[in-house]
Every structure is written in C-alpha cells, then in structure tokens.
Chains A and B, each alone.
Chain A
Amino acid sequence: GQNIDQPTEMTATEGAIVQINCTYQTSGFNGLFWYQQHAGEAPTFLSYNVLDGLEEKGRFSSFLSRSKGYSYLLLKELQMKDSASYLCAVKDDSWGKLQFGAGTQVVVTP
C-alpha cells in the first residue's frame, strides 16, 4: 500500500531552522513535492525533487534520497508567516496522481 509519514507538529522560534522529515513507501515514484498550506487555503508549491540530492530555493531547501525513501524540507531564518502546514506528496506513476502525507503543522513562536 501507500504510506507517507511526516511528523504531526513542530515548534520553533523566529529566526531558527526547522527540518521536516518525510518517509515514503509507494507503489511508484516519479518525484516528490513539498507544499505549504495555510488554514482554509489551498496548498502552494514549494519544491520538487526527482533526483537524489539537495535543491535550494532561498530560505527553503529540500533533500531526496530515493534509495532510503526519504526526503526533508529545511526552513531557514524562520518568520512568523511560515506558521503553516507543510505537506509532503509523492507523484505516483499511474495517472501522475499525488499521494499526500498528513502534513506537518509548523508553529513559529516569537
């Protein structure tokens, strides 16, 4: 079956760094996405990894290891507006479906 695991909640202070881990076991793999979702809003795209390694994009970086079924999203220089849910999603082979993890709620405190 499909299984995508990520922690439920993480708390960090403004200016700090937080790393959100995601492990997956899926029937197919064609890339991994990270999305940010604020309450009551649709997800917004953060990053995409299909090859092993680190992708850096400003304050956000994402890492993938396909052999380990593992990814992380690194948020640096945390700001209050970064308080949100972060969703890990794996692109399935069939129809290109995205399988989502349950999301990690990040709480940034002053």
Chain B
Amino acid sequence: EAQVTQNPRYLITVTGKKLTVTCSQNMNHEYMSWYRQDPGLGLRQIYYSMNVEVTDKGDVPEGYKVSRKEKRNFPLILESPSPNQTSLYFCASTRQNGDTQYFGPGTRLTVL
C-alpha cells in the first residue's frame, strides 16, 4: 500500500530535549515536505526536499533541521524544542511532476 508514515504519532517532551520525528514514504517520490498545523493558521511549510541531499527552507524553518540521506526518509529534527513548537506536524511527499501531495498521519507534539 502506497503511504507516508510518521513516528511517533504523539510526543510530549520538555524544553531543550532534542527530538527527531521520522518520515518515510514507499512511493519512490522525489519531493518531500514538512508542515506544521496550528489553529487559525492553516498549514505552514517548514522545509522541503527536492531530492537526496537537496533541501530548502519553507516559510517557518526557525528551530528545525532536516536531512535527506535516502530518498524514502526525511526526518525532522528539533535540536532544542521550545513550547512555541507545540503543534501538529505533517510530512508529505509528491511525484516529480507534482500531481498531488500525499500526507502522513501527523505527529502531535507537545513541548512543556
């Protein structure tokens, strides 16, 4: 089954404790993105990747890092999480010709 998976689905952590949210897709998609969703703000893009080792900032990249060492994986790293990063995070992938984006199930992060 074609899908985008994220782990963990839920995470409660404390300020400053480094964490990684994993994202994996099995569709051989070139492009992958991370978004955060906050009430009243819709989804905002954090980072995106056009291929292995090629990444670029989205609209709200501060406080986040990403890497793309393999085509299928695109982890999101929070080196020193802060409470304002409490949010619902979605990973997405798309084919190179951009037909649509396929979204993962989401990761709800709470930073205390």
Is A bound to B? no
| Residues of A bordering B, CB below 8 Å | none
